[in-house]
């Protein structure tokens, strides 16, 4: 059985195995045991749980606790049973002679390929504690950025939902009441009132038709969104949309640079770092770019030719990446670029939300004004007629 002991805060690795560590670092293929899906029978492990576990494992590793004891302790302390099940299984695999990266590979739905490759590279270099700290920091920062974006979008979404509900109540329930009153008078109604009354009566009388039609249309759009064509169209819109690109481009560039920087600092070769980053990045436009970068690096041309033609990469980032590749300082520069562009994305998101809030308010107010006008105009005409 392979020892799980730690030496100076890093797992012990026999000398004869270190020469093969680089190849293991990039071996993130499908796990041999198909029964392990990386998901507990009780549910899916959240990314926040993985970030917290990684931070705690880094502290224990730095304190000199052996790997098996650390995994056992984390499984015992885990608040969520899903994570506890995964950690117990990883510990059993480690005790049976697998390295930590090989054990994590059996849970691909919990640990991303880039995460596993980083751990494998850390095992090879003997820098497990430092790499775990960097992994935990990167995952926590990603979760913080996601929570920040979600909190920024909460108010516009709530405002839209509440305003839409109010408008629906006015159109479906209030307008028909006034329609009955107007019908008692032999007076032609304004065009806006006739249109709004026709829409109101149609929705109220034939809701059984329009509700499934709208629901089916929404379900169809969502289903198309998850097709291969729908994903390509949506990803291109996110990156090239007139408003969205100011936020999404720095967001994806920031995450890509941060991940490449971490992989390079952990000892993963540049070519494999690009390939692993492609697996971790969800947007297909950036996947194509990473493919082009990997091919250019493999052919000895470096990253400059694809970057020079990539409009989705900011000019400043292109220049710094190319210069850092030439000087051999790409790992540190990529990490710094990741910090900068993620902060830039958050700042631009705040500015976009500040613009959206008044736009939504004005738009919903205009719709409410049309509904009110369709009621008030006939009342004014009836009042003038009575006088």
Pair 26, 268: CB distance under 8 Å: yes
Tell me the pLDDT tens digit for each residue of 104-133: 989 988 888 888 888 888 887 778 888 888
314 pLDDT more than 70: yes
Give 292's pLDDT tier (boundaries 50, 70, 90): very high
Give 320's pLDDT tier (boundaries 50, 70, 90): very high
Which of 238-247, 288-297, 323-332 has the least mean pLDDT?
A: 238-247
Average pLDDT over residues 268-291: 88
Give 386's pLDDT tier (boundaries 50, 70, 90): low
Which of 36-45, 65-74, 87-96, 138-147 has the least mean pLDDT?
A: 36-45
Note whether 6-126 and 136-387 share their fold: yes
Average pLDDT over residues 4-31: 42
10 pLDDT more than 60: no
pLDDT of residue 203: 86
CA 11/CA 26 separation, integer angstroms: 19
5 pLDDT more than 70: no
Average pLDDT over residues 212-216: 92
Give 93's pLDDT tier (boundaries 50, 70, 90): very high
Out of 25-34, 92-101, 116-125, 277-286, give the one with best mean pLDDT: 92-101
pLDDT of residue 3: 38
Give, rounded to a whole angstrom, the gap between the first and last alpha carbons of the chain. Answer: 101
CA 71/CA 81 separation, integer angstroms: 14
**114 burial via Cβ count (<10 Å: 0-12, 13-18, 19+):** buried
Pair 284, 291: CB distance under 8 Å: no
Residues 6+ apart with CB under 8 A from 223: none
Yes or no: domain 136-387 corresponds to CATH 1.20.81.30: yes
pLDDT more than 90, % of the chain: 20
Torsion of CA 243, 316, 276, 78, to 10 degrees: -70
Q: Mean pLDDT for the chain?
A: 82
Pair 5, 100: CB distance under 8 Å: no
173 pLDDT more than 60: yes
| Backbone angles phi and psi of 40, in degrees to 5 | -65, 155
Yes or no: domain 6-126 corresponds to CATH 2.40.30.10: no
99 pLDDT more than 80: yes
Average pLDDT over residues 218-229: 91
Average pLDDT over residues 376-385: 78
CA 382/CA 366 separation, integer angstroms: 24
178 pLDDT more than 50: yes
Q: 3-class DSSP state for residue 177?
A: helix
CA 50/CA 85 separation, integer angstroms: 13
DSSP 39: S
Q: 3-class DSSP state for residue 7?
A: strand
Classify each residue of 221-251 as buried b or exposed e, where b means 16 or more C-beta atoms within 10 Å of its C-beta: eeeeeeeeeeeeeebeebbeeeeebbbbbbb
Q: Please state the pTM of the whole predicted model.
A: 0.72
Classify each residue of 274-295 as buried b or exposed e, where b means 16 or more C-beta atoms within 10 Å of its C-beta: bbbbbebbebbbbebbbebbbe
Listing DSSP states for 8-72 in one string gives TTEE---HHHHTTHHHHHT-----S-TT--SSBTTBPPPHHHHHHHHHHHHHHHHTT--HHHHHH
Residue 64 Rama label (left phi>0; alpha psi -120 to 50; beta): left
251 pLDDT more than 70: yes
CA 344/CA 305 separation, integer angstroms: 26
191 pLDDT more than 50: yes
Q: 3-class DSSP state for residue 232?
A: helix
pLDDT of residue 340: 92
40 pLDDT more than 70: no
| Domain range annotation of the chain | 6-126, 136-387
CA 294/CA 306 separation, integer angstroms: 10
pLDDT of residue 27: 53
CA 75/CA 108 separation, integer angstroms: 18
């Amino acid at each position: 059985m392979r020892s799980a002991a730690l030496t100076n805060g890093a797992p012990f690795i026999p000398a004869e195995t270190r020469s093969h560590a680089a190849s293991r670092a990039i071996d993130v293929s499908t796990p041999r045991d198909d029964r392990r899906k990386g998901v507990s029978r009780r549910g899916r492990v959240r990314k926040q749980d993985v970030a917290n576990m990684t931070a705690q494992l880094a502290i224990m590793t730095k304190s000199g606790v052996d790997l098996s004891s650390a995994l056992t302790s984390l499984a015992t302390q885990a608040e969520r049973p899903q994570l506890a099940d995964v950690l117990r299984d990883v510990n059993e695999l480690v005790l049976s002679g697998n390295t930590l990266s090989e054990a994590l590979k059996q849970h691909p739905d919990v640990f991303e390929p880039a995460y596993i490759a980083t751990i494998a590279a850390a095992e090879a270099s003997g820098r497990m504690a430092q790499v775990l700290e960097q992994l935990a920091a990167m995952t926590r920062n990603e979760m913080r950025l996601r929570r920040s974006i979600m909190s920024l979008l909460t108010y516009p979404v709530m405002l839209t939902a509440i305003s839409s509900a109010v408008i629906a109540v006015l159109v479906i329930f209030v307008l028909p009441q006034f329609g009955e009153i107007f019908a008692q008078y032999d007076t032609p109604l304004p065009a806006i009132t006739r249109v709004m009354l026709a829409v109101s009566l149609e929705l109220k009388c034939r809701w059984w038709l329009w509700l499934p039609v709208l629901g089916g249309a929404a379900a169809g759009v969502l289903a198309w969104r998850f097709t291969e064509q729908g994903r390509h169209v949506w990803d291109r819109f996110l990156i090239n949309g007139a408003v969205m690109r100011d936020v999404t481009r720095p967001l994806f560039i920031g995450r890509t640079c941060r991940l490449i920087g971490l992989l390079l600092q952990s000892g993963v070769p540049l070519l494999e770092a690009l390939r692993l980053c492609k697996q971790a990045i969800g947007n297909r436009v950036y996947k194509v770019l990473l493919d082009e970068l990997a091919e250019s690096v493999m052919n000895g041309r470096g990253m400059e030719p694809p970057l020079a033609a990539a409009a989705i990469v900011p000019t400043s980032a292109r220049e710094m990446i190319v210069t850092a590749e030439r000087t051999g300082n790409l790992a540190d520069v990529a990490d710094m670029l990741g910090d900068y562009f993620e902060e830039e994305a958050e700042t631009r998101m705040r500015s976009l939300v500040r613009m959206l809030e008044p736009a939504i308010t004005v738009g919903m107010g205009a719709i409410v004004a049309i509904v009110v006008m369709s009621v008030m105009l006939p009342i004014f005409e009836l009042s003038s007629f009575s006088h």
